[in-house]
Amino acid sequence: MTYISLAVAALLVGIDQLTKWLVSTYIQPNSYINLISINGREWLNLTYQENTGAAFSILRDKQLFLIILTSIIILGVIILMVTKRVKKPIYIWSFALIVAGGVGNLIDRIAYGHVIDFVDVRIIKFAVFNFADVCAVVGTIMLILFYIIDEVKESKAKKAKAAEQSEPTEAEVQGPDSSEADE
């Protein structure tokens, strides 16, 4: 399953790079194409932005730091996956999505010195993002969510086991043998 998930991650990186190539080929930097408008209000645009930072443009112009950090995280996650330290399928797929997102944006940082962002949701005030960002965020949310679910299940199981072990046995409840008490 690990290698299948990494192959899917590679496919997702390809989709990410294709979408970024299309945007950078057909839209000028800082320009946009409206995709969805309702009652004259723009809801979704393709907006070509070059982001030299990380999420929400934090660490702007710190490309070397972001390249090194991203590379270490991706390498660490891949090692965890390949050495079979991650066993649960949902965690494997979560990590695969995180790797796909990290690699997609890492390619941009190395090749262009910035990340190409283009999904511009205008119904809420939000940062412009890309397909790699979606992969990384969905993978991270899945990882956190399923980790919490597993922890809650494990905690309930421990409590149930502790309660089961602390319940008195039938002999302890009945007390001394009733036939001895009658004598």
Task: Give the active site residues.
Answer: 117, 133
Residue 86 phi, psi (nearest 5): -100, 115
List of residues 6+ apart from 133 with CB closer than 8 A: 55, 101, 105, 117, 119
* H helical segments located in 34-130: 63-82, 89-112
Helices (H) and strands (E) in the chain, counts: 6, 3
**3 state SS for 83-94:** CCCCCCHHHHHH
Here the tokens at position 160 are 């149930």
Pairing of strands 41-51, 32-38: antiparallel
Q: Distance (Å, rounded) from C-alpha 104 to C-alpha 159?
A: 43
Here the tokens at position 9 are 């991650």
Bridge partner list, 49: 117
